[in-house]
Amino acid sequence: MELFLMALTNGIMVGGIYALVAIGWVLIYKCSGVLNLAMGEMTLIGAYLSLTFYSMGVPFFLALLISISIGFVLGILTERIFLDKLIGEPVLAVIMLTVGLSFFFRGSIELIWGTDTRVFDPPIFSLEPIKLGPASISEVYLWSFIAAIILLIIFVCFFKYTRWGLAMQATADDEMAALSIGISARFVYAIAWAIAFVAAGVGGTLLGNINGLNISVGYLGLLVLPAVVLGGLNSIPGAIVGGIAIGLLQNFTGVYLDRFFPGAVKEIAPFVFMAVFLLFKPYGIWGWERIERV
């Protein structure tokens, strides 16, 4: 029972961080119908920026705020420089451009920060686990989960109550109708990329505090894809539920199946689950079902 509770709590905690990064996927897809395959590298950039400022003596939360601000600007610049000219072009062309961006970002990261594993030193969170009944939770997991939930609430409120958020939803629902009432699609796409950069960077920073930071953390971008598919590619609540579900799936398979199938079965399980899930629910739990008549 103690092992079960540990897998359950850690799965929920990590799932909250996955949900945060999943929102970045959903934002860009909702607005433009594009799968951003550079999300993992965007996660790395935000994490390395936070680590750099923290290593310079800046307090962690201030370092995180600075990296969020830089990530916001980088998101707008990325959309303006690389993607703005492709508005209205075939979706496949935009997706292939995001593949190119992922290699460009990864090469830039390796050039600036190298490939060695780096940690936040001194540690930001205590190494002493927190007892919640019979379960023990690492402090970094707990605070990372709390931070992720706070940011998720902020994002949900942003889309529900602000003009920018409502404009993004209108563009996602019907781009032509949104344009007809004066909403700028270019502005919406730029803000979507900016917020996606912020969400990915915060998620990467929280994960960097858990396991250290190196180029392999960029794998998170693809690891979160099953969470996005599960909830629905255009559903923010789906991204939250999917992220937590994949976090639980990873931890339970790691605890109960690693002994029978050694070799990182927990990393494979989400993709096996995604492949099976797509056979029965190709649009996800809350995704929009598109019916085309010919």
pLDDT tens digits along 55-66? 998 998 899 899
Residue 264 belongs to a domain: no
Mean pLDDT of the region 231-252:
85
Per the listing, tokens 């707990």 go with: 142
**Number of domains into which the chain is organized:** 1
Q: What is the pLDDT of residue 290?
A: 61
Residue 289 belongs to a domain: no
Mean pLDDT of the region 162-174:
77
Among 49, 74, 77, 75, residue whose Cα is nearest residue 64: 49
| Residue 21: alpha-carbon gap to chain centroid | 1
Q: What is the pLDDT of residue 189?
A: 83
- Cβ pair 244, 19 in contact under 8 A: yes
- Cβ pair 46, 74 in contact under 8 A: no
Token duo for residue 29: 């897809």
Q: What angle do CA 285, 146, 4 make, to 5 degrees?
A: 70
Q: What is the pLDDT of residue 49?
A: 92
Q: What is the mean pLDDT of the chain?
A: 82
Polymer length of the chain = 294
User: Would the pLDDT of 87 be above 80?
Assistant: no
Residue 226 belongs to a domain: no
At 14, is the secondary structure helix, strand, or coil? Answer: helix
Mean pLDDT of the region 122-137:
74
Residue 206 belongs to a domain: yes
User: Would the pLDDT of 31 be above 90?
Assistant: no
ω into residue 122 within 30 of 0, thus cis? yes
Residue 134 belongs to a domain: yes
Residue 99 belongs to a domain: yes
- Cβ pair 47, 204 in contact under 8 A: yes
Provide the percentage of residues in the chain whose pLDDT is more than 70.
93
**Host domain of residue 79:** 2-217
Mean pLDDT of the region 121-140:
74
Mean pLDDT of the region 169-188:
76
139-161 helix and 185-211 helix, angle to the nearest 10 degrees: 170
Q: Which residues contact 198 (CB under 8 A, 6 or more apart)?
A: 46, 68, 71, 72, 75
User: Would the pLDDT of 221 be above 60?
Assistant: yes
Q: Identify the band that residue 288 occupies on the pLDDT scale cut at 50, 70 and 90.
A: low
Residue 166 belongs to a domain: yes
Tell me which of 261 and 74 has the higher pLDDT.
Answer: 74
- Cβ pair 245, 227 in contact under 8 A: yes
Residue 287 belongs to a domain: no
Q: What is the pLDDT of residue 22?
A: 84
Q: What is the pLDDT of residue 37?
A: 86
Q: What is the pLDDT of residue 134?
A: 67
User: Would the pLDDT of 70 be above 90?
Assistant: yes
Q: What is the pLDDT of residue 289?
A: 63
